[in-house]
Amino acid sequence: MAEGSITALIRKVVFKAEPYIPQVPKPKKKVSLQTRLIWSGLVLVIYMVMGQTPLFGATAPQFDFLQFARVIFASQQGTLVELGIGPIVTAGLLMQLLKGSDILHFDFKKPEERGVFQTATKVVTYIVIAAESIVYATAVYGPGVHQPYILYVMIGQLMGASIIIMLLDELVQKGWGLGSGISLFIMAGVAQQILWSLFSPLPAGDGGAVGIIPYIGQQMMHGDLSNVLFRSNQLPSIFGLFLTAGILLILVFTQGMKIEIPIVSTKYRGFSAVYPIKMLYTSNIPVILASALTANAVFLGQMLWANFNPKNNNVFMNILGQFDPTSPSTPIGGIIYYVTPPRGLAVASLDPGRAIGYILFMIGIVVLFGKLWVELGGLSPKSAAQNLLDADVQIPGFRRSNAPVEALLAKYIPSVTIIGSMILGCLSGVSDVLGVFGGGIGILLMVDILINYYTQLVREQVEVVMPRLGALLGRK
- Residue 108 is predicted with a pLDDT of 67
Judging by beta carbons within 10 Å of its beta carbon (0-12, 13-18, 19+), is residue 460 exposed, middle or buried? middle
Backbone torsions φ then ψ of 263, nearest 5 degrees: -135, 155
406: left (phi over 0), alpha (psi -120 to 50) or beta: alpha
Backbone torsions φ then ψ of 148, nearest 5 degrees: -55, -35
- Residue 475 is predicted with a pLDDT of 44
- Residue 467 is predicted with a pLDDT of 52
Would you say the pTM of this structure is higher than 0.85?
no
Q: What is the CATH number of domain 237-292+343-473?
A: 1.10.3370.10
Each domain of the chain, given as residue ranges in start order, spans 3-178, 237-292+343-473
Which residues contact residue 228 at a Cβ distance below 8 angstroms, ignoring those fewer than 6 apart? 212, 215, 216, 219, 237, 238
- Residue 42 is predicted with a pLDDT of 94
Q: 238 near 211, Cβ under 8 Å?
A: no
- Residue 1 is predicted with a pLDDT of 47
Whole-angstrom distance, CA of residue 158 vs CA of residue 156 = 5
Report pLDDT digits (tens) over 181-238.
Answer: 888 888 888 888 888 889 888 888 777 888 889 888 888 888 777 778 888 777 888 8
Residue ranges, the chain, pLDDT below 50:
1, 468-476
- Residue 39 is predicted with a pLDDT of 92
The reply to whether 237-292+343-473 shares the fold of 3-178 is yes
The class level of CATH for 3-178 reads mainly alpha
Any alpha helices (H) in 206-266, and if so which ranges? 212-222, 238-255
Asked whether the CA dihedral 181, 186, 187, 193 is positive or negative, the reply is positive
